[in-house]
């Protein structure tokens, strides 16, 4: 459906203007001829249009559109006739003709004109002389023109080859000046109860939904000064719907011409105040649309609402004597299409029907062992909403809900209706809601005075309950199906998010963010490191970020919940009690009352924090691999409770979160072990060598820095002789780590036993082959460093399959410092030899692993030539500067992160130091 509101001015005619349009007059009964179908002297003051798709539900939508439009214009006297005519004409278009329908409402000083057009593609153009056939009044369809003739002041039909439009005009009845509606005089004890001073908040909303006006009563009710809210969207403050009663959103409600209903507004203290609101859409002097909202506390709705109360005899027949649907008489039409809306309207109608002060409705839980409060009016909803009572337990034996019951004075029989304890209600009548003999709920109306109800009122209420029981049960089953689908969608999304990370801290944050505010107002996660450890408060989150610090301080001062592995949620009263005591101490200090030192040194929390945790708090164990690894704590603000469906969903979430948290713990432990092993495979410190500068840079690739891969070593063999090595084991993981550890320790041991380079590598090769299936290929550059007295250094090197070392001379030339030989771990009989080179003062020897030379960017590779080019620019630099320049060049060569480990060993002979 598409709609448009066009206040003021002459309307644009939506009818076709082609040359084929042949107007035809069909006039039945009273009224002006068709040629004068639109009074030329009348001024059109407002216009509303809507289009409806060719589906059955469009008829009900069209009725609602016309009803809302005319009520918004203040034409309640002709709403019923307009709705009936529109319903018949739209039915003819979308049901019988199977086309879309266009509805146009025009307001003038004389009345309202409504036009309904369809787009039937094969309609014949009737001739002027054709007799008018109104059809049989007993047919299911085709009564639209007959009703127009009977109800409308003027009506007519316009035809074109592809278009038919039926219009009708309804005149406004004469009204007595100064009076529109009036109610009977009532005794004082029957008047609605309100506070000592009734405050009506007047809020004006501009065309974009922002607050443009905020009166003093609004400041007093919600705690915001006008300058704090002017310009902010009303949706920032509205908790929609806090109490059931509407199936639309607040944005849609603000666009309607007139709307009444209940919702909640969040005040400056953070608490949600249930309000009853009346919205009126108006235009200012500049023609800009805006909405004026009148709001009172929900229990003072009688200030704004004037319900129509029908007598018992009006429940079966209309004023014309025609039979009417008892369901629509009780609920009204159209009925809400959501369960909360239906239940809320039910309790409101029940209260009004029996002139009660409050009403409530309970529904059976899935297992039908308890009754749960789902709607109430006139009761402190924050405390009573979603309360549960057993069906066949308790002193009042709620099993009596299976039969109508009247209690003349609850003070005489305390506990007869536990729900009303402490509410001030004295007389109550309750009736069951039954479907096919099963108890599905209970409906009750209560009053503050005694002896207000008798069996006659019980029968009236039972008759109404019988009319709505089936509709309530159908809506309840539909809600359960929606909740089930929503829960599955929520759990699937939660599982995906939790499976996407192995970081412990991020997992804790995800757990909290998924529960707040979807499942709870605040949450806290406790973790347990091991069986001998106490629970530790690891993460705290509140939907109001300003409350997090106070909440964390509160929870840190009380003992954590016991780590009980029993599945399911259990109530934890400690936070609420601690918050209450802290609030009490704060209030006493604010009054200047002295306290003992032991009390003043308690929890330093604010009253706002106390209100935030003053509701129900539950604890769910986090159990993974048959061990309690923590607890998930969920909380509500003051006087609020959890629904069972929410707790069941939280239990499912806690199981998934516990497994994800344990996986993150195992991964963190594995990463810590891997990093510790990696560090153990590298030398802790480099020795200082007189006359030689040495610098090493090592970069491990991959998340978690897996063990294995590249390694280096530099160690003293004997006085004046040092061994150095740089190598690369094929592969990663434990097998590669085993070869890495074997190589590094074997090199040191064999070298210190006096073996030369070839003998060291040949024995190492045999040791690698002895590993059998665990053996790995190994490329290795090994050498001995002999610093000389003349400032030079002699090196004896063996390059077993490793990238060749490069020598940088003082004149900038670069050359390979060794020849390639077979790698280790392949052949049993190796014949290796060592080569001797001398580094003159100023020369540099650069040794790298293949992670440096094989650095790639697309199809390009740095290679030996690229490394040589970079090294030629390092003349005159220290060993540290050379290694740093090589690493920068490698990192800048490609934008992606390195995919292989990299090790750089640079040695430079600076020469003799002269005085």
Distance CA 622, CA 626 (A): 10
Calculate the average pLDDT of the chain.
78
Helix (H, G, I), strand (E, B) or coil at 477: helix
Kindly tell me if the per-residue pLDDT of 360 is higher than 80: yes
Are 432 and 364 contacting, i.e. CB atoms less than 8 angstroms apart? no
The structure tokens listed for 682 are 């590298």
Report pLDDT digits (tens) over 29-68. Answer: 333 333 344 444 567 878 888 888 888 778 878 888 888 8
Q: Which residue has the higher pLDDT, 908 or 463?
A: 908
Q: What is the mean pLDDT of residues 766-789?
A: 87
Kindly tell me if the per-residue pLDDT of 118 is higher than 80: yes
Outline where DSSP puts E strands in 240-326.
258-266, 272-283, 289-297
Q: Which residue has the higher pLDDT, 24 or 370?
A: 370
Kindly tell me if the per-residue pLDDT of 724 is higher than 90: yes
Grade residue 244 by pLDDT with cuts at 50, 70 and 90.
Answer: very low
pTM of the model: 0.48
Distance CA 267, CA 219 (A): 9
Q: Which residue has the higher pLDDT, 283 or 292?
A: 292
Least trusted range by pLDDT, from 164-168, 309-313, 426-430:
309-313
Are 275 and 293 contacting, i.e. CB atoms less than 8 angstroms apart? no
Distance CA 158, CA 694 (A): 100
Beta 570-571 vs 522-527: how paired, if at all? unpaired
Q: Which residue has the higher pLDDT, 27 or 872?
A: 872
Kindly tell me if the per-residue pLDDT of 394 is higher than 50: no
Q: What is the mean pLDDT of residues 225-243?
A: 81
What does R_g of the chain's alpha carbons equal in angstroms?
42
Burial, 906: exposed, middle or buried (Cβ in 10 Å; 0-12, 13-18, 19+)?
buried
Q: pLDDT value at position 178?
A: 53
Kindly tell me if the per-residue pLDDT of 396 is higher than 50: no
Q: pLDDT value at position 639?
A: 63
Q: pLDDT value at position 534?
A: 84
Q: pLDDT value at position 510?
A: 87
Kindly tell me if the per-residue pLDDT of 911 is higher than 70: no
Q: pLDDT value at position 328?
A: 56
Q: What is the mean pLDDT of residues 379-405?
A: 55
Grade residue 324 by pLDDT with cuts at 50, 70 and 90.
Answer: very low
% of the chain surpassing 70 pLDDT: 77
Report pLDDT digits (tens) over 98-111. Answer: 788 899 999 887 88
Output the CA angle 738-744-746, nearest 5 degrees. 95
Kindly tell me if the per-residue pLDDT of 714 is higher than 70: yes
Helix (H, G, I), strand (E, B) or coil at 584: helix
Q: pLDDT value at position 12?
A: 43
Q: pLDDT value at position 382?
A: 42
What spatial distance separates the first Cα and last Cα of the chain, rounded to whole Å? 96
Q: pLDDT value at position 705?
A: 55
Kindly tell me if the per-residue pLDDT of 242 is higher than 60: no
Report pLDDT digits (tens) over 188-219. Answer: 666 666 666 788 999 999 988 899 999 999 99
Burial, 264: exposed, middle or buried (Cβ in 10 Å; 0-12, 13-18, 19+)?
buried
483: nearest Cα among 594, 358, 587, 340: 340
Grade residue 592 by pLDDT with cuts at 50, 70 and 90.
Answer: low
Q: pLDDT value at position 16?
A: 38
Q: Which residues of 171-186 are buried (b: 16+ CB within 10 A; e: fewer)?
A: eeeeeeeeeeeeeeee
Q: pLDDT value at position 588?
A: 65
Q: What is the mean pLDDT of residues 777-804?
A: 92
Q: What is the mean pLDDT of residues 346-367?
A: 83
Beta 163-171 vs 111-118: how paired, if at all? antiparallel
Report pLDDT digits (tens) over 603-648. Answer: 444 566 666 676 788 899 998 888 888 999 998 886 677 877 788 8
| DSSP 8-state class, residue 639 | T
Q: pLDDT value at position 803?
A: 93
| DSSP 8-state class, residue 545 | G
Three-state SS across 153-191? CEEEEEEECCEEEEEEEEECCCCCCCCCCCCCCCCHHHC
Grade residue 175 by pLDDT with cuts at 50, 70 and 90.
Answer: low
Grade residue 445 by pLDDT with cuts at 50, 70 and 90.
Answer: very high
Kindly tell me if the per-residue pLDDT of 433 is higher than 80: yes
Q: pLDDT value at position 786?
A: 93
Distance CA 722, CA 870 (A): 28
Q: What is the mean pLDDT of residues 665-673?
A: 81
Are 48 and 4 contacting, i.e. CB atoms less than 8 angstroms apart? yes
Q: pLDDT value at position 798?
A: 95
Kindly tell me if the per-residue pLDDT of 734 is higher than 80: no
Per DSSP, what are the bridge partners of residue 212? none
Q: What is the mean pLDDT of residues 257-284?
A: 83
% of the chain surpassing 90 pLDDT: 19
Report pLDDT digits (tens) over 501-523. Answer: 888 888 888 888 888 888 888 89
Report pLDDT digits (tens) over 156-171. Answer: 887 766 677 888 998 8
Q: Which residue has the higher pLDDT, 797 or 414?
A: 797
Distance CA 465, CA 151 (A): 34
Distance CA 408, CA 426 (A): 7
Distance CA 334, CA 337 (A): 9
Grade residue 464 by pLDDT with cuts at 50, 70 and 90.
Answer: confident
């Amino acid at each position: 459906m598409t709609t448009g509101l066009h206040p003021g001015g002459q309307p644009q005619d939506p009818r076709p203007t082609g040359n084929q349009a042949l107007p035809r007059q069909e006039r039945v009964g009273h009224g002006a001829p068709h040629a004068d179908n639109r009074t030329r002297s009348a001024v059109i003051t407002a216009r509303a249009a809507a289009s409806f798709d060719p589906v059955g539900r469009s008829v009900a939508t069209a009725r609602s559109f016309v009803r809302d439009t005319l009520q918004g214009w203040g034409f309640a006297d002709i709403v019923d006739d307009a709705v009936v005519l529109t319903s018949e004409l739209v039915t003819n278009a979308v049901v019988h003709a199977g086309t879309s329908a266009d509805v146009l409402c025009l307001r003038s000083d004389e009345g309202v004109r409504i036009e309904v057009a369809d787009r039937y593609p094969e309609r014949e153009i009737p001739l002027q002389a054709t007799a008018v056939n109104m059809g049989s009044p007993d047919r299911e369809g085709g009564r639209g023109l007959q009703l127009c003739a009977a109800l409308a002041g003027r009506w007519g039909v316009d035809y074109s080859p592809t278009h038919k439009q039926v219009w009708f005009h309804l005149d406004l009845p004469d009204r007595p000046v100064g009076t529109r509606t009036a109610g009977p005089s009532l005794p004082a004890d029957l008047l609605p109860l309100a506070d000592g001073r009734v405050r009506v908040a007047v809020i004006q909303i501009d065309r974009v939904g922002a607050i443009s006006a905020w009166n003093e009563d609004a400041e007093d009710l919600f705690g915001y000064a006008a300058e704090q809210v002017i310009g902010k969207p009303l949706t920032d403050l509205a908790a929609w719907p806090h109490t059931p009663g509407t199936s639309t959103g607040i944005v849609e409600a603000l666009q309607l011409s007139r709307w009444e209903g209940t919702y909640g507004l969040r005040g400056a203290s953070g608490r949600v105040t249930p309000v009853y609101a009346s919205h009126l859409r108006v235009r200012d002097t500049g023609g800009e649309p805006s909405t004026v909202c009148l709001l009172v506390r929900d229990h003072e709705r009688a200030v704004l609402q004037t319900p129509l109360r029908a007598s018992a005899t009006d429940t079966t027949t209309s004023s014309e004597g025609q039979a009417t649907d008892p369901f629509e008489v009780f609920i009204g039409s159209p009925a809400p299409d959501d369960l909360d809306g239906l239940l809320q309207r039910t309790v409101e109608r029940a209260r009004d029907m029996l002139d009660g002060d409050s009403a409530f409705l309970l529904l059976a839980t899935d297992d039908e062992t308890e009754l749960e409060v789902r709607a109430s009016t006139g009761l402190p909803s924050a405390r009573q909403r979603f309360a549960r009572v057993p069906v066949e337990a308790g002193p009042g034996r709620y099993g009596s809900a299976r039969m109508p019951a009247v209690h003349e004075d609850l003070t005489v029989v305390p506990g007869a209706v536990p729900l009303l304890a402490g509410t001030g209600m004295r007389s109550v009548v309750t009736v069951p809601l039954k479907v096919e003999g099963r108890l599905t709920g209970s409906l009750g109306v209560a009053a503050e005075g005694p002896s207000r109800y008798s069996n006659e009122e019980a029968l009236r209420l039972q008759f109404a309950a019988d009319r709505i029981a089936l509709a309530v049960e159908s809506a309840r089953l539909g809600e359960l199906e929606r909740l089930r689908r929503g829960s599955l969608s929520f759990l699937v999304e939660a599982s995906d998010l939790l499976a996407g990370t192995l970081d412990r801290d991020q997992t804790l944050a995800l757990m909290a963010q998924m529960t707040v505010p979807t499942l709870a107002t605040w949450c806290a996660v406790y973790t347990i490191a091991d069986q001998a450890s106490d629970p530790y408060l690891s993460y705290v989150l509140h939907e109001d970020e300003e409350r997090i610090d106070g909440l964390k301080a509160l929870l840190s001062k009380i003992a954590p919940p016991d780590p009980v592995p029993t599945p399911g949620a259990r109530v934890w009263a400690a936070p609420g009690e601690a918050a209450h005591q802290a609030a009490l101490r704060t209030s006493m200090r604010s009054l200047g009352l002295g306290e003992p030192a032991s009390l003043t040194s308690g929890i330093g929390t604010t009253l706002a924090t106390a209100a935030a945790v003053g509701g129900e708090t539950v604890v769910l164990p986090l159990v993974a691999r048959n061990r309690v690894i923590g607890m998930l704590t969920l909380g509500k603000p003051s006087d609020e409770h959890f629904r069972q469906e929410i707790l069941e969903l939280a239990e499912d979430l806690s199981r998934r979160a516990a497994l994800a948290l344990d996986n993150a713990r195992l991964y963190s432990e594995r990463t810590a072990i891997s990093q510790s092993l990696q560090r153990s495979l590298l030398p802790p410190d480099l020795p200082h060598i007189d006359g030689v500068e040495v610098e090493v840079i090592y970069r491990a690739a991959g998340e978690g820095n897996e063990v294995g891969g590249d390694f280096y070593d530099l160690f003293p063999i004997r006085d004046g002789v040092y061994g150095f090595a740089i190598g690369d084991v094929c592969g990663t993981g434990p097998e590669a780590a085993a070869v890495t550890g074997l190589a590094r320790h074997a090199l040191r041991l064999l070298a210190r036993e006096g073996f030369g380079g070839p003998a060291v590598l040949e024995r190492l090769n045999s040791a690698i082959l002895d590993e059998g299936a665990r053996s790995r290929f190994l490329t290795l550059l090994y050498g001995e460093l002999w610093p000389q007295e003349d400032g030079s250094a002699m090196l004896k090197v063996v390059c077993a399959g490793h990238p060749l070392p490069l020598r940088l001379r003082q004149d900038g030339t670069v050359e390979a410092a060794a020849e390639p030989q077979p790698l280790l771990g392949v052949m049993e009989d190796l014949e290796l030899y060592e080569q001797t080179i001398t580094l003159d003062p100023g020369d540099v020897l650069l040794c790298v692993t293949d992670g440096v030379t094989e650095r790639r960017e697309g199809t390009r590779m740095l290679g030996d030539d690229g490394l040589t080019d970079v090294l030629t620019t390092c003349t005159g630099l220290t060993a540290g500067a050379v290694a740093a320049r090589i690493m920068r060049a490698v990192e800048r060569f490609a934008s992606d992160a390195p995919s292989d480990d990299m090790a750089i060993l640079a040695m430079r002979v600076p020469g003799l130091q002269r005085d």
